[in-house]
């Protein structure tokens, strides 16, 4: 039996069928340094509330699935060391063994489905890594989007990845990729990738209707809602690309592999940009939280 602990505000929201937005915890434990990780997690939760929804940050603590973290739990997680990074493959084992872990996009989608939550906001999904033709490194986030009915609001896939291959795999898997208010697929720190997104929508209401339609049709899987970083916070592609290339070369030289790759690259890019990449990451995740709240409100209205 899964032991699920709902935060007090999530209990109240569920009782009144109010809109809820799921949030992940790997971005807190592996994606950002302390103390900005805790500050950002709190700001993102506040953004969701300001948008008329209730935030539910997911994590596994001592073998229990937490749907929503109380303030002290969130703070403890943000400072904890050696927290597992949970994806589809190890989520159940962590619960069964009484472990503690942070949820990636894939694991947060699974947790959201268990809690009946339709919308989830993050920074950027995982995808096909550069050099995947030899490393075979492809994030489990992609297959999760193909099978778990949650709309994920992200600033595209992280630009450390091979974005053309990521889009190809999403198409193969039948995942709707919706650019918000733009034709281009966004590239995390940059607004544009030079790649056209398969779908474009202008409003939260449209995105909500498409989400509900998929469910009505009995199609498994969710949607990737690709929301570009706000202009003021953007790092142009020409500026970030050489830094990404350098971080990738260092990862290769040091033999970084598996789950460690993405945290290593994000950490190095933070150092090489002297913190600017983190400012951009914070701005984009907050922007995604605001849109996710709007979508959650629209889905709740459609479901009446």
Judged by the rule CB under 6 A, the positions of this chain that interact with ligand PSU are 24, 26-27, 30-31, 104-105, 122-124, 126, 139, 141, 259, 262, 266, 281, 285
Smallest gap, in angstroms, from Cβ of residue 265 to Mn ion? 11
Smallest gap, in angstroms, from Cβ of residue 129 to Mn ion? 6
Binding map of Mn ion across residues 106-145, x = CB under 5 A, - = no contact: -------------------------------x--------
Give the CA diameter of the chain: 55
Residue 105 near residue 144 (C-beta atoms within 8 A): yes
237-266 positions binding Mn ion, by CB under 5 A: none
Smallest gap, in angstroms, from Cβ of residue 256 to Mn ion? 11
Smallest gap, in angstroms, from Cβ of residue 14 to ligand PSU? 24
Closer CB to Mn ion, 137 or 298, in the complex: 137
Residue 173 near residue 143 (C-beta atoms within 8 A): yes
Q: Is 275 left (phi over 0), alpha (psi -120 to 50) or beta?
A: left
Active site positions, annotated: 24, 158
Residue 141 contact partner, candidates ligand PSU, Mn ion, none, CB within 5 to 8 A by sort of partner: ligand PSU
DSSP class of residue 51?
T
Smallest gap, in angstroms, from Cβ of residue 280 to ligand PSU? 10
Closer CB to Mn ion, 140 or 210, in the complex: 140
| Helix, strand, coil percentages, rounded to 5, for the chain | 50, 20, 30
- Quickly tell me which residue has 């889905």 as its tokens: 299
Residue 234 near residue 189 (C-beta atoms within 8 A): yes
Smallest gap, in angstroms, from Cβ of residue 261 to Mn ion? 6
Q: Which residues are 58's β-sheet partners? A: 67
Residue 124 contact partner, candidates Mn ion, ligand PSU, none, CB within 5 to 8 A by sort of partner: ligand PSU
Q: Is 185 exposed, middle or buried (0-12, 13-18, 19+ CB in 10 A)?
A: buried
Closer CB to ligand PSU, 251 or 285, in the complex: 285
Residue 100 contact partner, candidates Mn ion, ligand PSU, none, CB within 5 to 8 A by sort of partner: none
Give DSSP secondary structure letters for 89-144. HHHHHHHHTT--EEE-HHHHHHHHHHTT--EEE-S-B--BBTTHHHH--B-HHHHH
Residue 281 contact partner, candidates ligand PSU, Mn ion, none, CB within 5 to 8 A by sort of partner: ligand PSU
Closer CB to Mn ion, 90 or 137, in the complex: 137
Looking at beta carbons, which residue is closest to ligand PSU? 123
Closer CB to Mn ion, 137 or 294, in the complex: 137
Closer CB to Mn ion, 107 or 289, in the complex: 107
- d(Cα 273, Cα 225) in Å, to the nearest integer? 27
* Cβ burial 90-100 (10 Å sphere, 16+ → b, else e): bbeebbeeebb
Residue 30 contact partner, candidates Mn ion, ligand PSU, none, CB within 5 to 8 A by sort of partner: ligand PSU
The residue ranges that bind Mn ion (CB under 5 A) are 137
């Amino acid at each position: 039996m899964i032991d699920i602990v709902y935060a007090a505000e999530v209990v109240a929201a569920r009782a009144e069928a109010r809109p809820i937005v799921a949030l992940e915890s790997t971005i807190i434990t592996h994606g950002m340094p302390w103390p900005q990780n805790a500050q950002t997690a709190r700001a993102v939760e506040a953004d969701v509330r300001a948008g008329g929804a209730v935030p539910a940050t997911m994590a596994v603590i001592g073998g229990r699935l937490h749907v929503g973290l109380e303030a002290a739990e969130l703070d403890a997680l943000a400072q904890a060391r050696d927290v597992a990074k949970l994806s589809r493959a190890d989520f159940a084992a962590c619960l069964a063994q009484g472990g503690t872990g942070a949820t990636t996009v894939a694991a947060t989608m699974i947790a959201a489905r268990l809690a009946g939550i339709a919308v989830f906001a993050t920074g950027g999904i995982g995808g096909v890594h550069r050099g995947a033709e030899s490393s075979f490194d492809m994030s489990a986030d992609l297959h999760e989007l193909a099978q778990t009915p949650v709309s994920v609001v992200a600033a595209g896939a992280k630009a450390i990845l091979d974005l053309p291959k990521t889009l190809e795999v999403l198409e193969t898997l039948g995942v709707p990729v919706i650019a918000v208010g733009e034709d281009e697929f966004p590239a995390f720190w940059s607004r544009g990738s030079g790649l056209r997104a398969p779908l474009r929508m202008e409003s939260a209401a449209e995105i909500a209707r498409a989400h509900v339609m998929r469910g009505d049709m009995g199609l498994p899987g969710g949607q990737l809602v690709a929301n570009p970083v706000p202009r003021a916070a953007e790092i142009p592609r020409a500026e970030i690309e050489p830094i990404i290339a350098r971080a990738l070369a260092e990862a290769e030289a040091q033999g970084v592999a598996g789950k460690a790759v993405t945290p290593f690259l994000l950490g190095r890019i933070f150092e090489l940009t002297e913190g600017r990449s983190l400012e951009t990451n914070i701005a984009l995740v907050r922007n995604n939280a605001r849109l996710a709240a709007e979508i959650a409100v629209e889905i709740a209205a459609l479901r009446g």
